[in-house]
């Protein structure tokens, strides 16, 4: 009986003679189970490489294009003149000074809620950097003034 148990595989009932299947038989079974890929590997590598190069080219182009906007502005100074008014000086820099732009100026309360907003048109001029003074009317007392962006008009 011990001799019969010695011929059994762990967890199975096949004799050891059945375990020694030839390497060629195993390779043949694997070849039939897993067919060759439809697309050759070098072609797949080439296609993936072209895709990666195109994606990186687009990424670099987009980053360079958006890193230098047509117009940029920042708040140079502001003074809260009353509970419903803020005096603001903004500085606008344009790539092409002959192009008119519009900047959105926003006054915020202490809880960061917008309490005043104004679209400020900046006319075309010969100067690349232009300072603009304006008075912003607010709904309640403002504590900060920010520029939300400038667009070419």
Query: 49-77: per-residue pLDDT in tens?
Result: 999 999 999 999 999 988 888 899 999 99
Calculate what percentage of the chain has a pLDDT beyond 70.
Answer: 85
Stretch 118-131: mean pLDDT: 94
Residue 123 has pLDDT above 80, yes or no: yes
Stretch 136-147: mean pLDDT: 95
Q: How sure is the predictor about 1, in pLDDT bands with cuts at 50, 70 and 90?
A: very low
> CA 147, CA 149: separation in Å to the nearest integer?
6
Stretch 118-144: mean pLDDT: 94
Residue 2 has pLDDT above 60, yes or no: no
- pLDDT digits over 12-37, tens only? 555 555 555 566 788 888 888 888 88
Residue 15 is predicted with a pLDDT of 54
Three-class DSSP category at 60:
helix
* Phi and psi, residue 16, nearest 5°: -60, -30
User: 101 and 145 in contact (C-beta within 8 Å)?
Assistant: no
Residue 50 is predicted with a pLDDT of 98
Q: Where are the domains of the chain?
A: 2-66, 71-152
pTM (two decimals): 0.62
Q: Which CATH architecture has domain 71-152?
A: Sandwich (2.60)
Three-class DSSP category at 61:
helix
Average pLDDT taken over every residue of the chain: 87
User: 122 and 97 in contact (C-beta within 8 Å)?
Assistant: no
Residues 6+ apart with CB under 8 A from 150: 69, 70, 71, 72, 73, 92, 101, 102, 103, 104, 122
Q: How is residue 88 written in tokens? A: 């603001």
Residue 36 is predicted with a pLDDT of 83
């Amino acid at each position: 009986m011990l001799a019969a148990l010695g011929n059994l595989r762990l967890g199975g009932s096949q004799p050891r003679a059945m375990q020694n299947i030839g390497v060629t038989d195993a390779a043949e079974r694997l070849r039939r189970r897993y067919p060759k890929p439809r697309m050759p590997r070098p072609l797949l590598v080439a296609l993936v490489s072209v895709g990666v190069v195109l994606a990186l080219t687009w990424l670099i182009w987009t980053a360079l294009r958006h890193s230098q906007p047509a117009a940029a502005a920042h708040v140079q100074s502001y003074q809260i003149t009353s509970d419903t008014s803020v005096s603001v000086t903004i500085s606008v820099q344009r790539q092409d000074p002959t192009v008119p732009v519009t900047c959105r100026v926003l006054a915020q309360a202490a809880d960061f809620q917008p309490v005043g907003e104004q679209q400020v048109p900046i006319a075309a001029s010969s100067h690349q950097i232009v300072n603009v003074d304006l008075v912003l009317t607010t709904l309640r007392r403002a504590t900060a003034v920010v520029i939300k962006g400038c667009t070419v008009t």
